Amino acid sequence: MEVKALQQMLSQFRQVQEKLEKQIGEISVEASSGGGMVTVKMNGQKQLTEVRIEPDVFKSKDQEMLQELMLAAVNEATRRVDEELSKQVKDLTGGLPGLAGMKIPGMF
């Protein structure tokens, strides 16, 4: 591969990286468990930004149930962030030769 072609590919990669970083900052997903008893929101960096627990959960005083509901909601939110990130990477890299289908370490 020629140097000029490599430089062009690197330039395209930098543009994709910048767009992806911007889009990650805009991602927000919501997931719930227990029929909405526990709801969490998560950003594109997989940080919880909001947790809502319905008061009825506390009435039962069932600590194990609350823990299971929290785990289920957080795991679902994480899965949704991964799904959204994967979609955005595919959309951004689909038209770039050599970058299509590329896995970015640490993101998935």
Distance CA 65, CA 55 (A): 13
Q: What is the pLDDT of residues 36-82, one digit of tens each?
A: 999 999 998 899 999 999 998 888 889 999 999 999 999 999 999 99
pTM score, two decimals? Answer: 0.70
Length of the chain measured in residues = 108
- Is residue 49 within 8 Å of 64, Cβ to Cβ? no
Beta-ladder partners of 36: none
Q: What's the pLDDT at 107?
A: 47
Taken in order of first residue, the domains within the chain and their CATH numbers are: 26-83 (3.30.1310.10)
Predicted confidence band of residue 18 (pLDDT cuts 50, 70, 90): confident
The DSSP annotation for 8-20 comes to HHHHHHHHHHHHH
